[in-house]
Amino acid sequence: MPIPQTAAGLVGPFDGLDIPWLLKMRAAVRRDHAFLIWAPFGAPARRWSYGEFHERVGALAAGLAKRGVKPGEYVLIHLDNCIEALLAWFACVELGAIAVTTNTRSAPAEIEYFADHCGAVAAITQPAYAELVAQNCRNIRWLAVTAHDAGAAPAQAVSRGDSFASLFADSADRPRRAADPLAPCSVQYTSGTTSRPKAVLWTHANALWGAKINAAHEDLHASDVHQTYLPLFHTNALAYSMLATLWVGATCVIQPRFSASRFWGVAREHGSTWTSTIPFCMKALLEQEVPRDHKFRLWGTAINEPPAFAAFGVKMIGWWGMTETITHGIVGEVDQPNIPMSIGRAAPEYQIRITDDDGRPTEVGDTGNLSIKGIVGLSLFAEYLHNEKATRESFDEHGFFLTGDRVERLENGFIRFGDRAKDMLKVGGENVAASEIEQVIAVVAGVREAAVVAKRHPMLDEVPVVFIIPHGGDAGAAPDLHDRVMAACGAGLADFKVPREIRLVDDMPRSTLEKVAKAELRKMVG
């Protein structure tokens, strides 16, 4: 679904602006202030001022243009957290190309799909993934590889691609184009209930919206230091943390990944005041001693004021959002008490609906289906790239985006998360479609039917468990069926999507029309 044409004379909040404008403006007014602090493991931190970062982005954008990358073309960025990931993202969007950030835990088949689906013309990666990207992105014109793996020395020499350093040209030659807030900016692939991930396309207005509204929801100020360790290829770190930091002219500390043993040391060294986190990380941090002299004033996470994590002595606001919403559609109150374990109240920038399966509004105490209404290309994503059908079907007749999540209405406007769409799992902060796993397993020889459900996990929230009816039943299953299923999953799925348990059964509980009754399977896994 293309971005709809608006009535004549309407003025949007980002008219005449785009992401390059935001970075350039910050470089002008906060030139010497630290924008990014790269904090690799086992090496000293490196500070990047707004002015220095802006200059290097310009040099890289000029280099990409010299390499033949044109506005409107797609560039795959397959990198763990590092400064190069952000340089590449900003350089692409300055040129007018579309930055495609992909999950570095993706399997070969997924990488091939991402590159072919968006039509990537080039790819930027790191030594650990160079061979994977080269073998599975066969239609790209060139590949560039960083000198390190998220701050660590490469385990082996890289024979594929050009060096990332060779991409840079003279920043004086940085490309110049007219700012168009509705121009495509970036793509993230996200799991849906279909077997293939959907490509969520953001405009420049979407990215600016994320920067401004996330900063407002998080009460960020220019004096804040936002500690970031969640992956930059996801909305949480990219928009909730980095873009929000950029909007207010604050500082963002980038770590390669989450490390419980390194978290507090980095926080104290740089005076971190804010972090966006997930329950997995907080559970791991409970095993560390909490320093009394930390400077954190706020954490953002899935739920408000979780009692189990009071030991940190930090106010925690809950929130709900999706890649498709760019920011939080539901968010906790920074300056007021929140109902513990709620996710907040409806954000004023959106319309939130909670209805039963017949479309009737729910009452306080009831759980219903969550939908959200905003402006396409501004407060909601532009479209699912190359998938007009999925885009169209994700909205109802009133223009509400159908989230697939269920929530409970509480007193005083507060909302509690209920559950996800029945075929979605949440594995260590990653969304996983059960159907995607099932499709991989279904083609394994000897498998008659497969059904995937979630099993509770103390650290990861949920992990996938698969029930399989083999040809010939449980007794007639080939002795190597388990190994072949796991091999197929390992080749076709990211590691966090691989089932943690395989159960061979003669049959499965059925509901109407002989569909597998997954609610009953969930009871069986506990």
DSSP state letters, 299-368: EEESSSS-GGGGGG--EEEEEEE-TTTSSEEEE--SSS---TT--EEE-TTSEEEEE-TTSPBPPTT-EE
Tell me, yes or no, whether 443 lies in a domain. yes
Q: Please give the structure tokens belonging to residue 132.
A: 């994977």
Q: Please give the structure tokens belonging to residue 421.
A: 């769409």
274 contacts 297 by C-beta, under 8 angstroms: yes
d(CA 29, CA 24): 9
Has residue 99 got a pLDDT over 60?
yes
Tell me, yes or no, whether 38 lies in a domain. no
Residue position matching structure tokens 């020395």 = 153
Could you report the per-residue pLDDT of 180-217, keeping only the tens digit for each?
999 999 999 987 656 688 999 999 999 999 999 999 99
The end-to-end CA distance of the chain, in Å, is: 41
CATH number at residue 467: 3.30.300.30
Residue 435 confidence (pLDDT): 77
Task: Say how many domains are in the chain.
Answer: 1
Tell me, yes or no, whether 514 lies in a domain. yes
- pLDDT bracket for residue 332 (50, 70, 90): very high
Residue type, 25: M
Residue 421 confidence (pLDDT): 62
Residue position matching structure tokens 């985006």 = 401
Tell me, yes or no, whether 463 lies in a domain. yes
Tell me, yes or no, whether 496 lies in a domain. yes
d(CA 79, CA 140): 17
The values of phi and psi at residue 353, to 5°, are -120, 140
Tell me, yes or no, whether 292 lies in a domain. no
d(CA 10, CA 170): 39
Could you report the per-residue pLDDT of 30-68, keeping only the tens digit for each?
999 999 999 999 999 999 999 999 999 999 999 999 999
447 contacts 482 by C-beta, under 8 angstroms: no
**DSSP single-letter state for residue 153:** P
Tell me, yes or no, whether 54 lies in a domain. no
d(CA 401, CA 123): 32
Q: Helix, strand, or coil here: 408? A: strand
- pLDDT bracket for residue 1 (50, 70, 90): very low
d(CA 413, CA 333): 12
Residue 522 confidence (pLDDT): 85
The values of phi and psi at residue 317, to 5°, are -100, 140
The pairing of strands 251-254 and 225-228 is: parallel
Q: Which of the pair, 425 or 217, is modelled with greater confidence? A: 217
108 contacts 132 by C-beta, under 8 angstroms: yes
Q: Helix, strand, or coil here: 477? A: coil
Average pLDDT of the residues of the chain: 93
Say which range, 124-133, 256-265, 305-314, 320-329, has the weakest mean pLDDT: 305-314
Helix, strand, coil percentages in the chain from 3-state DSSP, rounded to 5:
30, 25, 40
d(CA 292, CA 313): 9
The pairing of strands 122-125 and 74-78 is: parallel
Domain range for 433 is: 424-525
Q: Please give the structure tokens belonging to residue 92.
A: 């692409």
d(CA 91, CA 20): 9
Tell me, yes or no, whether 184 lies in a domain. no
58 contacts 94 by C-beta, under 8 angstroms: yes
- Burial class of residue 272 (count of CB atoms within 10 Å of its CB; 0-12, 13-18, 19+): buried
Percentage of the chain surpassing pLDDT 70?
96
